[in-house]
Amino acid sequence: MLGKRLNRARKEKGFTAQQMADMLDITISAYRFYENGKARPTLDKLVQIADILGVTTDYLLCRDGETDQ
C-alpha cells in the first residue's frame, strides 16, 4: 500500500518519478522500487518523502484510517 499512496501523492503534487528521485538524492530505479513495492525507504527517506509531498508518514504507511479504493 505504501507504493500506491506514494504514487498518488506524487501525482497530486505534479512531480515526476525522476524529480522525486532527484530530490531524494537516489536513482530513479530505487525510487520506482518504492512505488512498485519492491523496496521500502529507510525511516529517514520516508520522513523526507512525506515532507516533500506534504503528507504524513501515517498517510504513506496507511495508518490514517482511510481506505484505498
The structural domains of the chain, ordered by start, are 2-60 (1.10.260.40)
The three grid cell numbers given for residue 35, joined into one nine-digit string: 512505488
Report the C-alpha gap between 29 and 21 in whole angstroms. 8
pLDDT in tens, 7-58: 999 999 999 999 999 999 999 999 999 999 999 999 999 999 999 999 999 9
The three grid cell numbers given for residue 45, joined into one nine-digit string: 527517506
The three grid cell numbers given for residue 29, joined into one nine-digit string: 530505479
Listed in sequence order, the DSSP H helices in the chain are 2-13, 17-24, 28-36, 43-53, 57-60
